[in-house]
Homo-oligomer: A and B are copies of this chain.
């Protein structure tokens, strides 16, 4: 059987990150077949050779909360960072109902048919609760799931947005080292996760439905202005005329936005995952974007800036975790938050008192 990313992801997910599954029907099957840890060398070589099972296992290490896994993961990443291809990292988000999974299925297949190797990753901190991640529903991406040139990995399902985003960004590096030259990073169009996706993508694609009414509910304001391309989806059948009109409206609106730092002029297209209308256009536009930004230096500059950004972001995430996981802070936070919400204490006084309590739990040597 063809081993693909999604299957192997499921397989290795137990064993490394989670307690052994004791399914009454399976007995100790999973426990017995627990995947052993490979050596750093084996992981790196496996990834370089494009072995998706090993790639999946390495990503599982990235997602693990065990310190020894994290440490091994860091070693692997530090070596893989040097094999990164000249990839295209494409962030994809969209309004609920825009048909993100069918779009990714159709557009992704187009991309692998052109000879690219495609990795589909996701940032969806809410997936554990809402099960809303489209990648959780792999039945909608049957073609791509069985495509040997596609590697699909669901969102890390637990942790804060910062933690989830870090894991996804590290996974990008591993996928690129494994030869995937097109990376989709998808997210559901709510919350802060688009900003995280934007901060690790070269190109940002927004999927929209025709009709700017209720359909927009759920997408965060500000997303439109960070998009490099708006694709109006479901432009087929009766909907085609409406989609064409929407495209014209969005194109006009995009002209009113301040110019992008990249020198790129964002535009809008209509697409259909059924008739495949517009999918070639999307790819052509993406290629044009990369041509422009590779020529004017923006591509490399942005990548460097993103790396710097993620260094600072990771530091912040760590400082934050250390603070909020402190027992004294934990047991006092609710009280202070209530005082602030009720207007009994200023935000600053509350913060000051919490910090004082936190500092009293450790002391500086220097």
Contact = CB atoms under 8 A, between A and B. Distances in A.
B346 A74 contact: yes
The complex is assembled from copies of this chain, and their number is 2
Interface in A245-260: 249-250, 252-253, 255-260
Contact of A346 (B77, B309, B349): B77
Contact of A307 (B308, B314, B340): B340
Contact of A345 (B78, B257, B361): B78
Given A81-B346, A221-B260, A320-B319, A362 B363 contact: yes
B258 A249 contact: no
Contacts of A319: 316, 319-320, 323, 355
A347 B307 contact: yes
Interface residues of A, number: 70
Interface string A331-353: 00000110011010111111110
A276 B253 CA distance: 28
B361 A362 contact: no
Nearest to A304: B341
A26 interface: no
A351 B311 contact: yes
Given A224-B256, A249-B256, A260-B221, A346 B170 contact: yes
A310 B221 contact: no
Contact of A226 (B166, B221, B252): B221
B250 A355 contact: no
Given A337-B308, A366-B328, A347 B314 contact: yes
A51 to B, nearest CB: 21
- Of A216, A223, A316, A347, most buried by chain B (CB within 10 Å of CB) is A347
Given A212-B256, A221-B257, A224-B225, A350 B311 contact: yes
A32 interface: no
Given A169-B348, A310-B347, A311-B354, 6 more contacts: A78-B346, A218-B258, A224-B256, A249-B252, A311-B351, A319-B355
B318 A351 contact: yes
A217 B257 CA distance: 10
Interface in A27-50: none
A347 B307 CA distance: 6
Contacts of A259: 216-217
Interface string A289-318: 000000000000000100111111111101
Interface in A216-272: 216-226, 249-250, 252-253, 255-260
A318 B256 contact: no
B328 A311 contact: no
